[in-house]
Amino acid sequence: MNTTFPWATHVSYALLGQAVEIDVEPPTPESILAALDGTGWPKTRIASVARQRLDHGESWPFPVAPQVVKAAGAARWHAVMGEIVESLGVSIEHRAPSSRSTLDSDETRLLADVPPHW
């Protein structure tokens, strides 16, 4: 882990859409949430931001640059973000409904076109 990289601050951006400078060592879900709470962002307020965006069909967590995830360590980044999202009690499994429910003739033909079974 690169200790000079302020990746906890980048986590705050992913959660809030704005970077809150926090310096926690080690950057664990608990320490990040505690630091955010100390800056006026308790879990309930963060969850409210998340639900508001998701209810309006917007993405959450906010996207961060791939370089941020790489610098933090992809596995660690996703583990920390996953634990934080879970602790907030926010479901991010929203999927937009299909705009149509039936297949057109080309899609039906392609699905029927299967190799012979021996």
As a whole number of angstroms, the distance between CA 21 and CA 43 comes to: 17
- Name 28's Cβ contacts closer than 8 Å, sequence gap at least 6: 80
- Residue 88 predicted with pLDDT over 90: yes
Residue ranges of domains in the chain: 7-95
67 vs 7, residue with greater confidence: 67
As a whole number of angstroms, the distance between CA 3 and CA 17 comes to: 23
11-49 pLDDT per residue, tens: 999 999 999 999 888 889 999 999 999 999 999 999 999
Share of the chain above pLDDT 90, in %: 58
- Residue 81 predicted with pLDDT over 90: yes
